[in-house]
Amino acid sequence: MELTFFLQQMINGVALGSLYGLIAIGYTMVYGIIRLINFAHGDVMMMGCYFAYFGILMFSLPWWASFAVAIVLTALLGVLMDKGAYVPVRNAPRISALITAIGVSFLLENLGLVVFGGRPKGFDTPDMFNEVYEVAGLMFPALVLWTPLLTLLILGFILFIIYRTKTGRAMRCISHDMETTKLMGVDVNRIISITFAIGSASAAAGGIMWAMRYPEINPLMGIIPGFKAFVAAVLGGIGNITGAMLGGLLLGIAEILLVSLMPEMAGYRDAVAFGLLILILLFRPTGLMGTKLPD
Amino acid sequence: MKTKHVLVAFMVLGLAFAMPTPSFSQAKSDTIKIGVFLPMTGGVAAYGQGSWQGVQVARDMEPTVLGKKVELFLADDKSDKIEAANAVTRLVEKEKVVAIIGSSISGNTMAGAPIAEKAGVPIISPTATNPLVTQGKKYIFRVCFIDPFQGEMAAKYAYETLKKRKAALIIDKAQDYCVGLADFFEKSFTKLGGEIVAKTYCQTGDKDFTAQLSAIKAKNPDVLYMPNYYTEVALAMKQAKDLGLNIPVLSGDGSQDKALIDIGKQNVEGLMLTGHFEKEAASTPLAKKFIPLYEKKFGKVGTFDVMGADAYFVLIDAIKRAGSTDGAKVRAALANTKNFKGISGTMTIGEDGNAIKSLVIVQVRGGDFRYVATVEPAGAKPEPKKPAAKKK
């Protein structure tokens, strides 16, 4: 009984944590390559959810087609965001880019409010993801199995791009020294656009998984997952993609354990996440798997 | 040269800011300004959106009072307490409204109340049900019942009608509404002889309730009381199904918005709640007039739409009886509202600012809210037209 309870809570923790991890991967990837904390990442995720929602509802696409279209559209949105907002401040001090990111975040949120309206919408989860499996008294909703799988898949894909392709080599170069990379004849803007496209696409994938597990979408839904993914990224060592996934898992499990072991403290679950962020920044600023930053 | 440009720019800017002032003082004489602060965005946006539509339809039905046109000013409180206080400040100080309708939830109404109280501008809330909202306040009113009544009736329903003995609770600690309602439920349920076997907490905006629900499942309750808002209830019911926790769920008036069904879909089937209104039980003449007009414009009428409209009608009625827009006089008239036949039923508002009225028990069936029963308030003088709604 006690063991079943604990195991069930671990399953709950992994389910939540892998969602955080999935969203954190794109977050940390963009940071790792261009050293920009893209505060709009959570809002890009929100846009991905709406694209998928409208794909199913308005164009009556089958769910897989709608998800694919949403991911592609979100990737394009990422490129657009880079071209429109970040290219003009590429050579400005880093703080300008950071503030621009906050601006983009507000822009997307309020654009969402105007275009989609403030009333929340229910996300249509395909039946396949609604199933629940029972094994020895433990409940496994299908998404609890799919999300970590997808997270690993995307993690593998991004690691492959970064370490096994030419574009990836250019990305790694940019993360070390953008100026020199430019001198080597690499089209830096194109590489950064690709980075944003991949980061945003993974945000959309994360958003869709999020929306299937918590089927309520609204224009401000990206804020909290965005923050949590940021904490997960820092926890794992910001810039480190594998670390982001582990950070997400850790954060999810920590939150669930707090609520289940100390139910009275449930109101402090966000405080725990952000407390964890402060502790990490104080005692291990490079995170669990991070390396020393160049500056 | 450059300074000159800047100067010109400032002058133009200054002019732009100065512009509205003259038109504003002109407008003062021939319209009556009513402020509305509602959550149009954020966690409980569905309430605000619905109530605002209701207020607009009600205004179209009664566009003038005291021979003047009614002008509405909407401020979004963004489902947030601080924004609610800002919204009321803006309505009182900038728009100089004579009275205010709002807000949807207790916490936000309480955040705005002291400002209006100090300025002597009456606030009438459509759906803030926590007793503290009006307690000790002179200028704060509501057109809805209060939580002690609602909590007691939910407990009675669970114990007597559903014959449940072991209840579990999920309480949103950040909302006065949820904390209060859970408390009233617990008191009544234990007094009847039931037992609260699990008490878990969450926070507004939480999406994941698996930890709480797993803990609840381990305690084997036979009914779950979740007096939260629609998003939380819908998400928690989905996760409860995922975790194999299949017990009846009871909730409060906060669940009765179509967003609950949009989000929860088949997972919220069977949910029972204590609500303000359900179309099937509507019987007043005002309801018969309002509902077709509303539905022509916005589709199926919901509770929060109706409550917003009721707040408007009660306020206009009070201004009419006061014969003036003076804050103190409107207040006195509001506190003397007797047997007003609103859309959601007949209500009497006393010096304490609370409406005495009946509640309805509603259940989600076939993807819609369905009327189950009407419960009259205890201690209220029975009105002649009671039996009509009792049995259905």
Q: What is the pLDDT of residues A197-252, one digit of tens each?
A: 999 999 999 999 999 999 999 999 999 999 999 999 999 988 889 999 999 999 99
In the predicted structure, residue B18 carries a pLDDT above the cut 70:
no
- pLDDT given for residue B13 in this prediction: 47
- pLDDT given for residue B24 in this prediction: 44
Any A CB within 8 A of B200 CB: yes
**In angstroms, what separates the C-alpha of B326 from chain A's closest C-alpha?**
35
**Which of B40, B41, B78 to mutate to probe the A interface, most A CBs <10 Å?**
B41
Any A CB within 8 A of B179 CB: no
| Banded model confidence at residue B379, pLDDT cuts 50, 70, 90 | low
**Which of B203, B210, B230, B269 to mutate to probe the A interface, most A CBs <10 Å?**
B210
The mean pLDDT of chain A is 90
Q: What is the pLDDT of residues B183-209, one digit of tens each?
A: 999 999 999 999 999 999 998 888 999
Average pLDDT value for residue range A37-65 = 90
Contact: A122, B203; criterion CB under 8 Å = no
Q: What percent of chain B has pLDDT over 90?
A: 70
Average pLDDT value for residue range A174-193 = 91
- pLDDT given for residue A237 in this prediction: 87
Any A CB within 8 A of B263 CB: yes
Contact: B238, A215; criterion CB under 8 Å = yes
Average pLDDT value for residue range B29-42 = 90
- pLDDT given for residue A292 in this prediction: 54
**In angstroms, what separates the C-alpha of B238 from chain A's closest C-alpha?**
8
Closest Cβ opposite residue A120 in set B205, B244, B259:
B259
Average pLDDT value for residue range B134-152 = 92
Residues of B in contact with A113 (CB under 8 A): 41
Token pair, residue A275, equals 């407390």
Q: Are A120 and B231 in contact (CB under 8 A)?
A: yes
- pLDDT given for residue B384 in this prediction: 42
Residues of A in contact with B211 (CB under 8 A): 9, 12, 255-257, 259-260, 266
Average pLDDT value for residue range B370-384 = 70
Any A CB within 8 A of B197 CB: no
Contact: B212, A259; criterion CB under 8 Å = yes
Average pLDDT value for residue range B270-296 = 92
Closest Cβ opposite residue B49 in set A119, A215, A255:
A119
| Banded model confidence at residue B392, pLDDT cuts 50, 70, 90 | very low
Average pLDDT value for residue range A157-164 = 94
- pLDDT given for residue B9 in this prediction: 52
- pLDDT given for residue A60 in this prediction: 79
Average pLDDT value for residue range A99-112 = 95
Residues of A in contact with B46 (CB under 8 A): 119-120
- pLDDT given for residue A263 in this prediction: 79
ipTM: 0.87
- The whole-model pTM stands at 0.85
Distance of CA A68 to the CA centre of its chain: 17
Closest Cβ opposite residue A220 in set B41, B202, B263:
B41
Long-range contacts of B156-164 (CB under 8 A, 24+ apart): B156/B188, B156/B192, B157/B250, B157/B272, B157/B274, B157/B361, B158/B189, B158/B194, B158/B223, B158/B225, B158/B250, B159/B189, B159/B192, B159/B193, B159/B194, B160/B192, B162/B223, B162/B248, B162/B272, B164/B194, B164/B222, B164/B223, B164/B248
Contact: B235, A139; criterion CB under 8 Å = no
Q: What is the pLDDT of residues B247-275, one digit of tens each?
A: 999 999 999 988 899 999 899 999 999 99
Contact: A12, B208; criterion CB under 8 Å = yes
Q: Are B134 and B154 in contact (CB under 8 A)?
A: no
DSSP string, B216-229: HHHT--SEEE----
**In angstroms, what separates the C-alpha of B259 from chain A's closest C-alpha?**
7
| Banded model confidence at residue B281, pLDDT cuts 50, 70, 90 | confident
Nearest CA in chain A to B172: A267
